[in-house]
Amino acid sequence: MKTLYLIRHAKSDWSIDGLSDIDRPLNKKGYNDAHKMSLILKEKNVVPDLIISSPAVRAISTSLIFCRIFEYNPKSILINKNLYDTSVKEYVQAISKIDAEHQVVLLFGHNPSISSTFSALTNFTNQEIPTCGIVGIQSNITNWGDFSKKSNTLIYLDFPKNHL
């Protein structure tokens, strides 16, 4: 059994002029939402054995907050450059390359790719994942390369707005 949690990075700060997109940090709401959503996911007894993140500062920052809450070694985060400014094809490829030893994976990325990946891997279409939204998908497979729409089940869907 394999479980994948697609997590869109938390809200970012657009107030710094001249900062490149990849270097944009989280804003205060982003930090708060990442903390809140990581606690909620931990309460569901989720125990990640792999965390993958885009190299963007806002995605890494979101994943680091989850690491702290899950007591996951931040040095073990797998940074995948193919998860930034890319397409659903690269997200699916990244998922298919996850080592079979990993059972529960948190993957931090960006829109529109993360929402498109959600649609590609489930029967949900036109569902945009908001910032710091979490989608849990489970599949009764042995290898991540077999993770596909026909074998997947949506097990979790939650957004910060659900907890105002």
- What does pTM read for this prediction? 0.97
Q: What is the pLDDT of residues 17-52, one digit of tens each?
A: 999 999 999 999 999 999 999 999 999 999 999 999
Q: Are 35 and 28 in contact (CB under 8 A)?
A: no
Q: What is the pLDDT of residues 73-111, one digit of tens each?
A: 999 999 999 999 999 999 999 999 999 999 999 999 999
Of 155, 156, 105, 152, nearest in space to 133 by CA: 156
Mean pLDDT on 51-57: 98
In the chain, pLDDT over 70 holds for what percent of residues?
A: 100
Mean pLDDT on 54-69: 98
Band of residue 15 on the pLDDT scale cut at 50, 70, 90: very high
Q: What is the mean pLDDT of the chain?
A: 96
Lowest pLDDT segment from 31-40, 111-120, 144-153:
144-153
Q: H-helix or E-strand containing 68?
A: helix 57-70
CATH code linked to domain 2-13+22-163: 3.40.50.1240
For residue 54, the model assigns a pLDDT of 98
Q: Are 127 and 112 in contact (CB under 8 A)?
A: no
Residue 65 structure tokens: 């907050």
d(CA 118, CA 124): 7
Strand intervals (E) in the chain: 2-8, 50-53, 78-79, 104-109, 134-139, 152-158
Q: H-helix or E-strand containing 139?
A: strand 134-139
The residue extents of the domains of the chain are 2-13+22-163
For residue 68, the model assigns a pLDDT of 98
